[in-house]
């Protein structure tokens, strides 16, 4: 039987309260140039290196979106250098939610964005 839903993620939506502030935060984290004069509600799509996109969604113009962030990570950004990444986000002034946790073949730590959304940085 044919299945209409594909085994693929197209876009991750992150709900934010201040679109320009969030675009600036994520752009700094991902080392992307951004012209904030071109950022306008309701959404901003970040350029990603893979098929899956990342969209920041502040809702319709004229509305202020109230955010209730999850206490668990929404997704992860990959790194090959966990300690270097930890120092990098520390230098950026990101809110670091956990220290580095290491297993035999996997390591991660969590940060939070300006709205308190938890993002995992991990090697796997």
Q: Which tens digit of pLDDT belongs to each residue from 87-112? A: 999 999 999 999 999 988 899 999 99
Q: Which tens digit of pLDDT belongs to each residue from 52-87? A: 889 999 999 898 889 999 889 989 999 999 999 999
Tally of residues, the chain? 124
Could you identify the residue written with the tokens 């700094």?
Answer: 28
Please give the C-alpha separations between residue 61 and each of 19, 55, 58, 95, in angstroms, as whole numbers: 11, 16, 8, 28
Q: 0.85 exceeded by the pTM?
A: no
Nearest alpha carbon to residue 74 among 5, 15, 124, 31: 15
In this predicted model, which residue has the larger pLDDT, 124 or 49?
Answer: 49
Q: Which tens digit of pLDDT belongs to each residue from 11-32? A: 899 999 999 999 999 999 999 9
Looking at residue 6, what is its pLDDT? 74
Query: Confidence band (pLDDT; 50, 70, 90) for 4?
Result: low
Looking at residue 95, what is its pLDDT? 96
Looking at residue 9, what is its pLDDT? 77
Looking at residue 104, what is its pLDDT? 84
């Amino acid at each position: 039987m044919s299945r209409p839903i594909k085994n693929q993620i197209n876009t991750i939506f992150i709900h934010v309260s201040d679109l320009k502030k969030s675009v600036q935060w994520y752009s700094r984290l991902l080392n992307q140039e951004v012209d904030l004069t071109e950022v306008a509600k309701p959404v901003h799509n970040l350029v990603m290196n893979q098929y899956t996109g990342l969209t920041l969604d502040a809702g319709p113009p004229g509305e202020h979106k109230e955010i209730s962030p999850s206490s668990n990570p929404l997704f992860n950004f990959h790194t090959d250098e966990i300690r270097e990444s930890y120092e990098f986000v520390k230098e950026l002034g990101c809110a670091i939610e956990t220290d580095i946790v290491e297993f035999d073949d996997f390591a991660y730590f969590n940060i939070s964005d300006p709205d308190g959304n938890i993002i995992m940085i991990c090697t796997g």
